[in-house]
């Protein structure tokens, strides 16, 4: 316990040092929001990977694999392949045409006020879903580690929240990026060490490991059951399982390419070529990490066992419990501290993307119609917004319990990004005819259908058995109206359809005329934002 605090304290001390350094260098909005656009390819690759390898993956996905085997691994596969979409379609045009937010790209040729107001809304919604996922992970971690140590859950959450506010308010994007880089390195190192320990447990015989994973024993309703964790079907069962799986794939492949806190990272590099190279760096890191999640998850299933996981902190704690089983208290302390650092860093990344969008899209461009009334206003508003986001997320975290899986919560944010942000982003970059009405229709329909279907789906609606122990409690006690837990298969086409129909029902000659400018900028980077 004390060691865990010591490792965590070392992380905090070094990141606060970085924040101090970043705050001294930070002058003007480009420095604050985009780290002066001087982040290099490998640095940004680590930062993007750090943003993506959140509590949702390290705690959530490992937990899904530990309890439900192969089906959980599909979260890892989806999370990785999503970067092909970003690489081929999004990263370079985004870097070449935007300044700080997704809204910048859209408003090149669309009417700025309604479009920016809506993108600020979808950005904040996505960030909040993601934030809840991180906080649930933090809650579970604190519950396991600090139970009975005198440090209460609330104290820990307030501490995390205050640290995150310091990074973002004082250090801006530069500090946030470096916090992510350090954390991505620590997390990758932990995953490698833990993977090696799992393989050593099986004498480095891969087939021995997989043989054990094919007969995982656990208890259901007091009866022992044996399952092959290398086979699909433990989470996604007929009749709706197949559609749910395809739907999950759609959320990943299109949603990641619409996640504001990932996309803003491409504004921190000097040019489109660096943006491209940084995606490839991120793909190498994320891919290796996610392949390891399958070893960690299956390892936890075999070595720790689903029964033990469920009774000792629940699904999100599988990786942590595995570290304890294989490496003892010392390793447990290190891994938990790194998991805390992960949550802290991702929460900071989410906060800066949300507060940037609020300040740049909503305050300056919607309320003040594109002009700073007082000099330095954008940064001031963003800092204030970051403080507000910090306070709100502390309160949310205290109000929430470690009830659901952090990996699944994060997919809700991704569903919004896939259904609202992605269609309008792609159509705006690639379709000459696209216009403001289409963007408004697409953003609204995507946002509303994603949230509506999630609320009407089995994650929120369901009838709990009268004496369920430790199970997830459903918010609405009724049969779900929508049968799938992943809504992408319906909400993504709805977002696209609304954007296309909205476009075709209206005419906006200026939007079409300015497509040439967007196309030239996107493809050759003429007049793109320079490094400062």
Our finding on whether 514 is near another protein (CB under 8 A) is: yes
Asked whether position 433 contacts another protein by CB under 8 A, the answer is no
Secondary structure (H, E, C), 224-237: EEEECCCCCCCCCC
**Dist. CA 53–CA 290, nearest whole Å:** 9
Which member of 21, 42, 170, 210 binds another protein (CB under 8 A)? 210
Place of tokens 């994320």: 286
Q: How far is Cα 421 from Cα 120, in angstroms, rounded to an integer?
A: 10
With contact defined as beta carbons under 8 Å apart, do 336 and 156 qualify?
no
CB nearer another protein, residue 115 or residue 140:
115
Q: Which of 1, 3, 81, 392 binds another protein (CB under 8 A)?
A: 81
Taking a C-beta distance cutoff of 8 angstroms, is the pair 46, 281 a contact?
yes
CB of 170 to another protein, least distance (A): 25
Q: Which stretch, 20-28, 45-53, 66-74, 379-387, contacts another protein (CB under 8 A)?
A: 66-74
- Number of Cβ atoms within 10 Å of the Cβ of 469: 7
Which residue lies nearer to another protein by CB, 73 or 496?
A: 73
- Give 460's Cβ-side CA count (13 Å radius): 13
Q: Which of residues 268-307 bind another protein (CB under 8 A)?
A: 273, 276-277, 279-280, 283-284, 287, 290-291, 294
Closer Cβ to another protein, 101 or 351, answer by number: 101
Nearer to another protein, 74 or 409 (CB): 74
Give the list of residues 6+ apart from residue 166 with CB closer than 8 angstroms, or none.
16, 19
In the DSSP assignment, the letter for residue 303 is I
User: Within 10 A of 525 (CB to CB), how many other CB atoms are there?
Assistant: 18
CB of 517 to another protein, least distance (A): 4
Q: Rule CB under 8 A: is residue 192 a binding residue for another protein?
A: no
d(CA 148, CA 249): 41
Element housing 220 (H / E): strand 216-220
Residue 130 to residue 349: CA distance in whole angstroms: 11
CB of 99 to another protein, least distance (A): 6
CA–CA dist 393, 275 (Å, integer)? 30
Residue 183 or 276 having the CB closest to another protein: 276
Q: Segment near another protein (CB under 8 A), from 154-162, 340-348, 442-450, 513-521? A: 513-521
Residue with tokens 């300015």: 514
Q: Does residue number 99 form part of the binding site for another protein (CB under 8 A)?
A: yes
In this structure, the number of other CB atoms found within 10 A of the CB of residue 156 comes to: 19
Contacting residue, 3, 89, 388, 501, with another protein by CB under 8 A: 89
Q: Which is nearer to another protein, 211 or 225 (CB)?
A: 211
Q: Closest approach of Cβ 496 to another protein, in Å?
A: 14
Q: How far is the CB of 381 from another protein (least distance, A)?
A: 18
Burial classification of residue 433, based on how many CB atoms lie within 10 Å of its CB (0-12 exposed, 13-18 middle, 19 or more buried): middle
Is residue 23 near another protein by the rule CB under 8 A?
no
Question: Does 117 contact another protein by CB under 8 A?
Answer: no
517 in contact with another protein (CB under 8 A) = yes
CB of 495 to another protein, least distance (A): 17
Beta-carbon contacts of 458 under 8 Å, excluding residues fewer than 6 positions away, are: 480, 482, 483, 484, 485
To another protein, the closest distance from the beta carbon of 108 in angstroms equals 8
User: Shortest distance, CB of residue 75 to another protein, whole angstroms?
Assistant: 11
What's the CA gap between 191 and 198, in Å, rounded?
A: 10
Report whether 272 contacts 96 (CB < 8 A).
yes
Shortest Å distance, C-beta 80 to another protein: 6
Among 33, 83, 178, 482, binds another protein (CB under 8 A): 83
Residue 8 vs 80, nearer CB to another protein: 80
Q: For another protein, which stretch binds (CB under 8 A), given 86-94, 324-332, 456-464, 501-509? A: 86-94
Show the CA angle centred on residue 135, arms to residues 263 and 280, nearest 5°.
30
- Residue 366 makes contact with another protein by CB under 8 A: no
Q: How many binding residues for another protein (CB under 8 A)?
A: 56
Q: Figure out which of the listed residues 460, 520, 531, 532 binds another protein, where binding follows CB under 8 A.
A: 520
- Closest CB 433 distance from another protein, rounded Å: 15
Minimum separation from the CB atom of position 3 to another protein (A): 34
DSSP 53: S
Q: Which of 242, 328, 376, 483 binds another protein (CB under 8 A)?
A: 242
Cβ-proximal residues to 306 (8 Å cutoff; 6+ apart), any chain: 66, 67, 216, 218
CA dist 60 and 414 (Å) reads 15
The percent helix, strand, coil of the chain (3-state, each to 5) is 75, 0, 20
Residue 219: in which H helix or E strand, if any? strand 216-220
Binding status of residue 253 toward another protein by CB under 8 A: yes
For residue 231, state whether it binds another protein (rule: CB under 8 A): yes
Q: Establish if 207 lies at the interface with another protein (CB under 8 A).
A: yes
Of 33, 52, 32, the closest CA to residue 290 belongs to 52
Retrieve residue 118's tokens. 């809506």
Among 159, 241, 452, 458, binds another protein (CB under 8 A): 241
Q: Which is nearer to another protein, 287 or 452 (CB)?
A: 287
Least distance (Å) between residue 504 CB and another protein: 23
Cα-Cα-Cα-Cα dihedral sign, residues 168, 174, 176, 179: negative
Binding site for another protein (CB under 8 A): 70, 73-74, 77, 80-81, 83-85, 87-89, 99, 207, 210-211, 213-214, 228, 230-233, 236, 241-243, 245-246, 248-249, 253, 273, 276-277, 279-280, 283-284, 287, 290-291, 294, 370, 513-514, 516-517, 519-520, 523-527, 529
């Amino acid at each position: 316990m004390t060691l865990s605090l010591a490792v965590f304290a070392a992380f905090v001390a070094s990141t606060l040092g970085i924040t101090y350094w970043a705050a001294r260098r930070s002058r003007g909005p480009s420095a604050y929001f985009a780290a002066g656009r001087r982040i290099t390819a490998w640095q940004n690759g680590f930062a993007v990977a750090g943003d993506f390898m959140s509590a949702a993956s390290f705690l959530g996905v490992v937990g899904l694999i530990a309890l439900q085997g192969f089906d959980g691994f599909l979260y890892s596969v989806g999370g990785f392949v999503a970067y092909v979409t970003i690489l081929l379609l999004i990263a370079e045009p985004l870097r070449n045409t935007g300044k700080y937010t997704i809204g910048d790209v859209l408003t090149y040729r669309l009417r700025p006020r309604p479009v920016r107001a809506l993108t600020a809304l979808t950005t904040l919604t996505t960030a909040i879903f993601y934030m809840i996922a991180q906080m649930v992970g933090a809650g579970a971690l604190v519950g396991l580690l600090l139970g009975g140590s005198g440090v209460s859950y609330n104290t820990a959450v307030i501490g995390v929240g205050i640290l995150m506010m310091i990074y973002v308010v004082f250090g801006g994007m530069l500090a946030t990026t470096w916090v992510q880089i350090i954390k991505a390195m620590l997390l990758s190192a932990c995953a490698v060490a833990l993977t090696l320990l799992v393989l050593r447990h099986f004498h480095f015989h891969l087939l021995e490991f997989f043989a054990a994973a094919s007969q995982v024993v656990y208890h259901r309703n007091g009866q022992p059951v044996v399952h092959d964790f290398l086979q699909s079907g433990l989470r996604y069962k007929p009749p709706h399982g197949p559609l749910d799986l395809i739907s999950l794939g759609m959320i990943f492949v299109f949603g990641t390419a619409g996640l504001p806190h990932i996309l803003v990272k491409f504004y921190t590099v000097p040019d489109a070529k660096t943006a491209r190279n940084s995606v490839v760096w991120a793909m190498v890191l994320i891919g290796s990490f996610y392949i390891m999640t399958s070893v960690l998850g299956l390892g936890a299933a075999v070595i720790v066992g689903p029964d033990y996981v469920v009774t000792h902190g629940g699904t999100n704690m599988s990786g942590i419990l595995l570290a304890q089983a294989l490496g003892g208290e010392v390793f447990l302390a290190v891994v938990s501290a790194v998991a805390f650092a992960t949550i802290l860093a991702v929460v900071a990344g989410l906060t800066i993307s949300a507060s940037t969008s609020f300040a740049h899209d909503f305050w300056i461009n919607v309320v003040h119609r594109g002009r700073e009334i007082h000099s330095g206003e954008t940064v001031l508003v963003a800092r204030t917004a970051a403080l507000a986001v910090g306070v709100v997320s502390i309160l949310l975290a205290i109000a929430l319990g470690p009830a659901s899986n952090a990996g699944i919560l994060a997919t809700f944010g991704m569903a919004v990004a896939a259904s609202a942000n992605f269609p309008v982003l792609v159509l705006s970059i690639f379709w000459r005819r696209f216009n403001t009405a289409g963007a408004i229709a697409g953003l609204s329909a995507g946002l509303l259908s994603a949230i509506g279907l999630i609320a009407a789906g089995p994650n929120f609606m369901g009838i709990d058995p009268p004496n369920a122990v430790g199970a997830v409690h459903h918010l609405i006690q009724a049969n779900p109206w929508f049968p799938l837990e992943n809504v992408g298969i319906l909400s993504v086409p709805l977002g696209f359809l609304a954007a296309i129909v909205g476009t075709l029902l209206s005419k906006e000659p200026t939007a079409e005329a300015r497509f040439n400018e967007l196309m030239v900028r996107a493809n050759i980077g003429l007049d793109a934002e320079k490094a400062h």
